[in-house]
Amino acid sequence: MTDSNPAKWSRRRVLATAASGVALAAATGLPMPAIAQSRKLTYWGGLIFSDDANKLLSDTITAWGAANGVETEVVMINQNETTQKVSAAVSSNTMPDAMDTGLGLLRLLGRQNVFSDVGELYKKIGDAQGGWFTGPDTATDLTADGGVARIGIPFGVNGNLLLRRKDLLEAAGFTEAPKTWDELKMQAEAVNKAPVSGLGLALSNVGDANLQVAILQSYGGRIADDAGKTVTLDTPETREWLAWVKDAWDKKLFPAGNTTWDGAGDNQAYLSGQAAFIANTGSVGIAAKKDDMELFEASAFSPLPGGPKGIVSPIDVQLRAITKASPLQAEAMALLEHLSSPEFMNAYFNVAIYGPVLADQEKLPAFDGTNTILVGLLGLAKNGTAPAYPDVNNAAFADFGSNFIIPKLAQRVVVDGWDFDRAIAEAQAQGQAIYDKY
Amino acid sequence: MSVAADTIPAKPRRRLPGNVRIKAFAYLLVAPAILLICGLVAYPFLFAIWVSFTDMVVGSVGNFVGFKNFEYLAGTATFYSAIWNTIVIVLVSDVLKLGIGLGLALLVHQNLPGRGIFRSFLMLPWAMPAFVAFLTWRVLYQPIGGGINLILTQTGLYPEVVDFLGSRSTAMGSVIVASVWRGFPFWFISILAALQSVPKELYEAAIVDGASTWQRFWNVTIPSLMPVIIVTTLLSSIWTANGFEHVWLLTAGGPSDATMVFPVLAYYGMQTQRIGEAAAVSVYMLPVLGILVIFATSLMMRREE
């Protein structure tokens, strides 16, 4: 009687049932790759300084999805966190179907075979809109990396423009933008009076400070040889550039604190009226236009000055890419084509801080000359130099930049008081150690 | 059939001995906790060690490269700066936090009016989010418009504007001051709690023996506080050595490498997308921190016993 009672729950049975329940719950709750869970097209957009641009991108993708019967999800990613998020997503197989990316990350992931070949779409868009500008076309051709040539569709060019306080400079007799770095220093010195510092350039361990690489190159200096293997910092040209930095430092042209600035240091210095010149992508102009129209109207944009060996004004290219693992390849291709349409891009350029990538985009109303920032970015798109030029744009160069070897070289001289030879020797050794890894 | 079934004797169920069953049941009960610890602590910890021996970059699992990452790091000047700076920050911060925490705890331990409010007030720096606290300090240190420079110049104490964070001679001190400000309340509250548990009889006996105030402090208070001071020192050392935000938000390791510490160096490794190297920086810290952790844990367990 006792044994046959089915309602009797022994301790063993309770445990077995509980264990089964836990196992079942665990099994059903295991994270599955996002792309396997639904047919939703997920897009990771890169957050930029302009809320209007972010909203426009998100709304456009959503509207496109609704019109084409594709369920979409747009996730806007802080671009400072893209690397970490992508790293985790690749490891856990939860990459989005398509995403915005910078050129550096695209190249890196391209070597891991993460993105789809978009060569046909690239050609189609180029043919329809007057062809691609040479700068972005060359910069995004990954043939040299040994894989597929085109794994991203460029949508915007950015890079540094020179932003200056024309009200102060005109009062000091300078009506034209400086054409050379020496001229820039001379103009900066003329208006360098507290609380305004002449040169609002970062010399800290931050991406903005890598502008010094371009200045070094414009003086004829090179990071590495033509093979992209041997670091070549120990040259007279490097010393010439260092002399330029040291002289500006000794004349107290840099704002105090610029050796520890974060990425917003130069922005804040200019917007608070503490710098006469900064090199910036245009975000400061947008911020000034929004919050301080007086400052905006007192400002002017111009291309970066040149050195004895010409102008080095590297462009960076923003692209859209499709994840190879996505089951929605056709849909993602159609979306990227839609996002390259003149209608969308005209609206986007008006609120974003990117220059054009296609020849016909120059004719868009956005570039009619009324927006001085976009005029500057158009010039950058047409005349800017390829990333790393005249150096070889390889992984070692990117790693070299990420380790801020050139800003640190400048810091050794101006902060630590090292002589040029000692500072260059350290930078040369550190740089070579980086290049030797590749 | 029913007759036959009734006549077959039931097969006796084999049962484990009682003590084994109890042990098995106990293990079963703690299994979820062990799984949780393995998943959230052991796996990431061991994985980080493994990654440090690979050339993993973003998007790839990486290949085993032996000690290559460690050799590369050991060949950079910044690595040695990070070692030295981490030692300096930990040692100087701990000494200052001990002095301030002990002094304030002794003060608040007295029967003063409003001491309850004062105690709460002293805990404010610790309660404030680190992000807010250190950004506030960054603003205070600003050469132009920064509160400290304004006070110095306006009062005539120092006529020149000081670039606290941008100068090698002042950057480390500035980071330490901000770090101590944020961290001393932990010392204060730990020491205050220990002070309150010192038996009054010890002081009474010392007074009867004719001990002076200094002798009572040195021979009664300090020995009674010592276990707490040791544990607090160890915990604070671990937190300070692992601390990221105080350096990152104030100087990002600069100027030059004047304030570079291990966590910031590891973060730079992440920024270069070379995860193997970044992990190697963290793993370099493991032996020292491991010893501190084991020492602190054993001390705390001994105290509990």
pLDDT digits (tens, 9 = 90+) for A211-240: 999 999 999 999 999 999 999 999 999 999
Claim to verify: residue B137 and residue B273 sit in the same structural domain: yes
Please answer yes or no on whether A415 and B144 come within 8 Å at the CB atom: no
Tally Cβ neighbours within 10 Å of residue B169. 11
- A29-43, A62-76, A252-266, B16-30: range with lowest mean pLDDT: A29-43
Residue B60 pLDDT: 75
Label residue A276 by pLDDT band (50, 70, 90).
very high
Q: Are B282 and B262 in contact (CB under 8 A)?
A: yes
**What residues of B are in the A interface, CB distance below 8 Å?**
10, 28, 32, 57-61, 72, 75-77, 142-145, 161, 163, 165-168, 171, 250-258, 268, 270-275
Domain-located, residue B262: yes
Claim to verify: residue B259 and residue B178 sit in the same structural domain: yes
Checking if the pLDDT of B296 tops 80, the result is no
Residue B12 pLDDT: 66
Residue B57 pLDDT: 81
Tokens of B39: 């998943």
Tokens of A122: 């690239």
Tokens of B63: 């290949």
Q: Are B46 and B40 in contact (CB under 8 A)?
A: no
Please answer yes or no on whether B59 and A402 come within 8 Å at the CB atom: no
Domain-located, residue B100: yes
CA atoms of A304 and A295, how far apart (whole Å)? 20
Residue B192 pLDDT: 94
Label residue B292 by pLDDT band (50, 70, 90).
confident
Claim to verify: residue B83 and residue B222 sit in the same structural domain: yes
Q: Which residues of A touch B256 (CB under 8 A)?
A: 259, 408, 411-412, 415-416
Higher-confidence position of A395 and B187: B187
- Interface predicted TM-score (ipTM): 0.73
Separation in Å, CA of B280 to nearest CA in chain A? 15
pTM for the model: 0.77
Tokens of A318: 């923003």
Of A363, A265, A357, A272, the residue nearest A319 (C-alpha): A357
Domain count, chain B: 2
Please answer yes or no on whether B58 and A430 come within 8 Å at the CB atom: no
Domain-located, residue B5: no
Q: Are A232 and A222 in contact (CB under 8 A)?
A: yes
Please answer yes or no on whether B253 and A205 come within 8 Å at the CB atom: yes
Q: Which residues of A touch B142 (CB under 8 A)?
A: 257
Residue B249 pLDDT: 92
Please answer yes or no on whether B252 and A205 come within 8 Å at the CB atom: yes
Interface probe with A: pick from B144, B246, B281, most Cβ of A within 10 Å? B144
Nearest residue, CB atoms, B273 vs list A108, A114, A260 = A108
Identify the closest residue of chain B to A400 by CA–CA distance.
B272
Higher-confidence position of B245 and A84: B245
Q: What is the pLDDT of residues B102-143, one digit of tens each?
A: 999 999 998 888 888 888 888 889 889 999 999 999 999 988
Please report which helix (H) or strand (E) contains residue A170, including its range. helix A166-171
Claim to verify: residue B38 and residue B121 sit in the same structural domain: no
Nearest residue, CB atoms, A15 vs list B28, B75, B275 = B28
Residue A412 pLDDT: 94
Identify the closest residue of chain A to B72 by CA–CA distance.
A433
Separation in Å, CA of B292 to nearest CA in chain A? 30
Domain-located, residue B70: no
Residue A78 pLDDT: 81
> Where do the domains of chain A lie, and which CATH numbers do they carry?
34-158+316-383 (3.40.190.10), 161-313+403-435 (3.40.190.10)
Q: Are B144 and B138 in contact (CB under 8 A)?
A: no
Separation in Å, CA of A258 to nearest CA in chain B? 7
Please answer yes or no on whether B258 and A255 come within 8 Å at the CB atom: no
- A103-112, A124-133, B22-31: range with lowest mean pLDDT: A103-112
CA atoms of B86 and A333, how far apart (whole Å)? 50
Higher-confidence position of A331 and A88: A331
Using CA atoms of B129, B132, B134, B139 in order, give the dihedral in degrees to the nearest 10.
Answer: -160
Claim to verify: residue B194 and residue B292 sit in the same structural domain: yes
Residue A337 pLDDT: 97
Interface probe with B: pick from A109, A151, A197, A260, most Cβ of B within 10 Å? A260
Domain-located, residue B159: yes
Residue B11 pLDDT: 67
Q: Which residues of B touch A22 (CB under 8 A)?
A: 32
Residue B259 pLDDT: 94
Residue B20 pLDDT: 85
Residue A35 pLDDT: 39
CA atoms of A378 and A372, how far apart (whole Å)? 10
Residue A39 pLDDT: 78
Residue A37 pLDDT: 44
- Report, as an integer, the average pLDDT of A339-348: 96
Please answer yes or no on whether B254 and A204 come within 8 Å at the CB atom: yes
Identify the closest residue of chain A to B145 by CA–CA distance.
A195
Residue percentage of chain B with pLDDT more than 70:
94
Q: Which residues of A touch B145 (CB under 8 A)?
A: 272
Claim to verify: residue B139 and residue B280 sit in the same structural domain: yes
- Report, as an integer, the average pLDDT of A363-390: 89
Residue A113 pLDDT: 87
Q: What is the pLDDT of residues A286-306, one digit of tens each?
A: 888 888 999 999 999 888 999
- Report, as an integer, the average pLDDT of A106-115: 86
Checking if the pLDDT of A15 tops 60, the result is no
Label residue B144 by pLDDT band (50, 70, 90).
confident
A329-339 helix and A342-351 helix, angle to the nearest 10 degrees: 60
Here the CATH number for the domain that contains residue B294 is 1.10.3720.10
Residue B10 pLDDT: 66
Claim to verify: residue B84 and residue B31 sit in the same structural domain: no
Task: Tell me which DSSP letter residue A73 carries.
Answer: E
Residue A2 pLDDT: 40
Count Cβ–Cβ pairs < 8 Å, chain A vs chain B.
98
Please report which helix (H) or strand (E) contains residue A158, including its range. strand A153-159
Residue B268 pLDDT: 86
| Average pLDDT score, chain A | 88
Domain-located, residue B196: yes
Checking if the pLDDT of A87 tops 70, the result is yes
Claim to verify: residue B100 and residue B33 sit in the same structural domain: no
Residue A399 pLDDT: 84
Sheet holding A72-78, edge to edge: A72-78, A41-47, A98-102, A315-322, A153-159
**Residue type, position A425, single letter:** A
State the number of CA atoms in the 13 A half-sphere of B300 facing the CB: 11
CA atoms of A371 and A178, how far apart (whole Å)? 21
Of A69, A169, A141, the residue nearest A319 (C-alpha): A141
Nearest residue, CB atoms, A260 vs list B32, B251, B271 = B251
Kindly report whether the peptide bond that precedes residue A390 is cis, defined as omega within 30 degrees of 0. yes
Domain-located, residue B64: no
- Maximum alpha-carbon separation in chain A: 110
Claim to verify: residue B30 and residue B134 sit in the same structural domain: no
- Report, as an integer, the average pLDDT of A56-66: 96
- A5-9, A177-181, A331-335: range with lowest mean pLDDT: A5-9
Q: Are A152 and A320 in contact (CB under 8 A)?
A: yes
CA atoms of B82 and B172, how far apart (whole Å)? 12
Radius of gyration of chain B (CA): 28
Identify the closest residue of chain B to A412 by CA–CA distance.
B256
Residue B8 pLDDT: 66
- Domain range for B27: 15-52
| Average pLDDT score, chain B | 88
**What residues of A are in the B interface, CB distance below 8 Å?**
3, 15, 22, 83-84, 86-87, 90-91, 105, 108-109, 111-112, 114, 194-195, 204-206, 255-260, 262, 272, 274, 399, 402-403, 408, 411-412, 415-416, 426, 430, 433, 437
Q: Which residues of B touch A111 (CB under 8 A)?
A: 59-60
Residue percentage of chain B with pLDDT more than 90:
56
**Residue type, position A213, single letter:** V
Nearest residue, CB atoms, A256 vs list B60, B161, B271 = B161
Which residue(s) pair with A314 in the sheet? A385
Q: What is the pLDDT of residues B79-98, one digit of tens each?
A: 999 999 999 999 999 999 99
Claim to verify: residue B48 and residue B178 sit in the same structural domain: no
Tokens of B235: 């915990």
Q: Are B86 and B239 in contact (CB under 8 A)?
A: no
Higher-confidence position of B232 and A80: B232
Residue B305 pLDDT: 65
**Residue type, position A82, single letter:** T
Label residue A3 by pLDDT band (50, 70, 90).
very low
Q: Are A246 and A334 in contact (CB under 8 A)?
A: no
Identify the closest residue of chain A to B10 by CA–CA distance.
A3
Residue A107 pLDDT: 85
Checking if the pLDDT of A208 tops 60, the result is yes
Claim to verify: residue B276 and residue B180 sit in the same structural domain: yes
Residue A6 pLDDT: 47
Residue A49 pLDDT: 74
Domain-located, residue B163: yes
Label residue A19 by pLDDT band (50, 70, 90).
low
- Report, as an integer, the average pLDDT of A23-40: 47
Separation in Å, CA of B258 to nearest CA in chain A? 9
Checking if the pLDDT of A29 tops 80, the result is no
Claim to verify: residue B82 and residue B35 sit in the same structural domain: no
Separation in Å, CA of A292 to nearest CA in chain B? 19
Q: Are A261 and B165 in contact (CB under 8 A)?
A: no
- B32-41, B213-222, B295-304: range with lowest mean pLDDT: B295-304
